[in-house]
Structure 1
Amino acid sequence: MSQNYDIKTYNIKMSTENLSLLKNRDMWHETPIEATLFIDDLSYPIGIKYRGSHVRKFKKKSFTIIFEEAELGVKEVHLNAEFMDKSLIRNKLSLDFFSDLDVLSPDSYHVNLYINDIYQGIYLQLESVDKYFLKRRNLPYGPIYYAENDNANFSLISPIKKDTKTSFMSGYSRKEGDRSDDALLKKFIYQINTLPTSTFEKEISNLIDVDTYLSWLAGVVCTQNYDGFIHNYALYRQPKTGLFEIIPWDYDATWGRDINGKIMDYDCIPIVGYNTLTARLLDISSFRKQYKTILQNILNDTFTKDYLFPKIKTLHKLLAEYVNDDPYLKNYLDQFDQEPSVIFDYIKDRRNYLINHLSDLD
């Protein structure tokens, strides 16, 4: 899909009563509130609610917008506040990076958000991973599962309870498909953990698109999303091939910053990443060699200063025109100005680290 750098203006209007309800009811309430979205000269009836997990507690809220009818090729979009990322670009930079690696990835672009004509700041609109996501890419309809928490670690052991999981579905919620599809996901998780090494290489290739998974793995390792291995992804089962494909999601804690916005050491995540599926794949010499080749190509062509710096500079310059008016950024303007340098330093250090550790994959 295209990598859109345009900034649109959204004005969401609702009654005084609905606005009060949105602001004052339990922040975890999932029932959308009626409103109207205005984009240029067009208007769309919508429902709006808060979204996210820990981000709901931040001053600058994130939202999910649900259209009454599928509009602009989508039914649902997410407006991310990106509150902990004072550059406002890490999520988009990551998702565009995955697209460049030929990994299915949501479209994203920045918007200026108003609610009842009052400016809320700059937001990142993220495409929902659902049947419309598939349709826009001319992909056949198939089941989609969201990895909702750390139990989606491709293991039989819960990292949350430190005990055997009570269900193979633990950590996942079904976005598309029906209950009959759940059996296929359960089989996938079970076989990841129980296939003998002697047959793993052959059998796993009948369950997941290994090439795409290894490209995704390289992307997570480059961007260093700590949660990305056991969270922050979706699974789509391609009905024509019968193979699961992995889709990245929620990548603001990347490019040198952690989930709290603190500097993250460039060598925090090893070149092999982690989670049970990754460990089993890289235990097979042919897959490990394939991963090394993929990563080498990325380090030569995509995860480079020449490739990434122009994108970072373009995004930063684009947003700089608006940050002075963002009510949640006006106290962080110095940090906004410095963030490209933080990302540049991270890319340089992380790239050198990965190049120096390619021999770990021999």
Structure 2
Amino acid sequence: MSIPQYYLYIHPMDLKELKSDIWIDEPVPASLKYGKKKVEIDLAYRGSHIRKFKKKSYHITFYKPKVFTGVHEIHLNAEYKDPSLIRNKLSLDFFADIGTLSPASQHVQLFINGHNEGVYLLLESVDEYFLKKRNLPNGSIFYAVDDDANFSLISPIEKTTKNQLDSGYERKVGQQNDSQKLANFVYKLNTATKAEFEHVIQKLLDIDKYLRWLAGVVCTQNYDGFVHNYALYQNNETGLFEIIPWDYDATWGRDIHGDVMEFDYVRAQGFNTLTARLLGVSSFRRQYGNILKAILEEQFTVDTMTAKVEKMHNLLRPFVAQDPYIQKNIEAFDQEPEFIYQFIRDRNLYLREKLVDFL
């Protein structure tokens, strides 16, 4: 079996400009060849701290044509600090399996000007094309870009009341009035009295989808997932907000540096103001407990995950052996499946013991 091959071609002067400052978001022109088709693109680095790594990650916007394979833009993640290279995809597929909206992803082999850059994860962008591909109603989409996206009136960054309640978000799809709707959502979820909250929040949020997302974050143990690493979609037909996971490489027992994160590091009730308020309502708390219990019995088990892990690992191994950035560390790659299985065993048992708090 093979993985798709993507060939990027960048003029040497443009490549020099791209490399001159890793923090500049301004793209350079390039072309992308995939199969028998060649398209013109805009290319830029993506991410924050990951820009410092030797193996860069990229953001690609299709220029001519503007839509290619049904999308306008894609992300190519190097997954540089994940020795397995599969945690991000494993997580996003897991979220889809438990009933949460989740971006599609696929491993590819990337070449730049003929040079093999190794294995990358192609991530679908969460935008209007994401909605269209799933036959979902139009709506606004916001990316949580920093810790201010904590569903609170207080900024953890400034340690003061936020000047703008949509702070921490970047509007990806929608108009200015949609940003006001988001701010209104944050305001109401914080200011509704305890007696009002259960009634108020059901008019603002898809409760079931949020609780499934919460269970997914808790199982995969994405410590950063509660205040960023997500997108918000407001369905224009229902008016309800839904939450979508994003960038889940620091999961399944490892942190953003690739170091071990103990299985009990993230608590079963998660973090952030919205989660705390939801779990403060007995009916929502039981609903979460039942969702989490079912996932621990069905999806988040070694038996269920083994086939998925082995399929990805076996598919990627020949290409990892050729990846110039990680080929010398192939032994670590080979040890990761068992590491992930042990994390699932330990985390599953830990969360089962905590179920009594929710049921």
Instruction: Confirm or deny: 8 A CA contact 1:108 1:127 kept in the other structure.
Output: yes
What is the CA deviation profile of residues 183-203 of structure 1, one whole-angstrom value per residue up to 9, with x for unaligned ones? 110010001110001010011
Instruction: Confirm or deny: 8 A CA contact 2:166 2:180 kept in the other structure.
Output: no
SS at match of 1:77: strand
Match of residue 307 from structure 2: 310
Deviation at 1:355, TM superposition (A): 0.6
| Structure 1 position 61 matched with structure 2 position 35 | no
Aligned runs of 1:95-174 on 2, under 5 Å? 95-174=92-171
Aligned-partner Cα distance in 1 for 2:230–2:27:
24
68, 74, 91: which one aligns with 1:71 = 68
**What amino acid is the match of 2:15?**
L
Aligned runs of 1:196-207 on 2, under 5 Å? 196-207=193-204
Aligned-partner Cα distance in 1 for 2:320–2:174:
41
Deviation at 1:174, TM superposition (A): 0.3
Deviation at 1:161, TM superposition (A): 2.1
Aligned runs of 1:223-262 on 2, under 5 Å? 223-262=220-259
Match of residue 15 from structure 2: 19
SS at match of 1:65: strand
Aligned runs of 1:13-52 on 2, under 5 Å? 13-23=9-19, 25-52=20-47
What is the CA deviation profile of residues 101-145 of structure 1, one whole-angstrom value per residue up to 9, with x for unaligned ones? 111100000000000110001000000001111111111221100
Instruction: Confirm or deny: 8 A CA contact 2:144 2:230 kept in the other structure.
Output: yes
Name the Cα RMSD after superposition: 1.0
**What amino acid is the match of 1:58?**
F
| Structure 1 position 269 matched with structure 2 position 305 | no
Q: Which runs of 5+ in 2 are unaligned?
A: none
SS at match of 2:72: strand
SS at match of 1:173: strand
Aligned-partner Cα distance in 1 for 2:248–2:10:
31
213, 216, 221: which one aligns with 1:216 = 213
SS at match of 1:74: coil
Match of residue 334 from structure 1: 331
Aligned-partner Cα distance in 1 for 2:13–2:283:
61
Aligned-partner Cα distance in 2 for 1:329–1:293:
41
Deviation at 1:240, TM superposition (A): 0.5
Instruction: Confirm or deny: 8 A CA contact 1:12 1:115 kept in the other structure.
Output: yes
Instruction: Confirm or deny: 8 A CA contact 1:6 1:109 kept in the other structure.
Output: no
Instruction: Confirm or deny: 8 A CA contact 1:6 1:110 kept in the other structure.
Output: no
Matched pairs, number: 357
Aligned-partner Cα distance in 1 for 2:301–2:338:
15
**What amino acid is the match of 1:241?**
T
Aligned-partner Cα distance in 2 for 1:109–1:161:
38
Aligned-partner Cα distance in 2 for 1:256–1:198:
39
SS at match of 2:170: strand
SS at match of 1:206: coil
| Structure 1 position 7 matched with structure 2 position 3 | yes
Q: Which runs of 5+ in 1 are unaligned?
A: none
TM-score normalised to structure 1 length = 0.97
Deviation at 1:6, TM superposition (A): 6.2
Match of residue 299 from structure 1: 296
SS at match of 1:88: coil
| Structure 1 position 284 matched with structure 2 position 285 | no
Aligned-partner Cα distance in 2 for 1:173–1:13:
30
Between 154-163 and 129-138, report the one with greater CA deviation: 154-163
Match of residue 320 from structure 2: 323
Deviation at 1:159, TM superposition (A): 1.4
What is the CA deviation profile of residues 258-310 of structure 1, one whole-angstrom value per residue up to 9, with x for unaligned ones? 11110001001111111100000000000001001101110111001111111
Q: Report the identity percentage.
A: 54
Aligned-partner Cα distance in 2 for 1:169–1:6:
43
**What amino acid is the match of 1:89?**
I
Runs of 4+ in 1 over 3 A off after TM superposition: none
Deviation at 1:53, TM superposition (A): 0.6
Aligned-partner Cα distance in 1 for 2:39–2:168:
34
SS at match of 1:222: helix
Aligned-partner Cα distance in 1 for 2:137–2:211:
22
Aligned runs of 1:177-188 on 2, under 5 Å? 177-188=174-185
Aligned-partner Cα distance in 2 for 1:162–1:344:
39
Instruction: Confirm or deny: 8 A CA contact 2:226 2:271 kept in the other structure.
Output: yes
**What amino acid is the match of 1:42?**
K
**What amino acid is the match of 1:240?**
E
TM-score normalised to structure 2 length = 0.98
Between 8-17 and 343-352, report the one with greater CA deviation: 8-17
Deviation at 1:331, TM superposition (A): 2.6
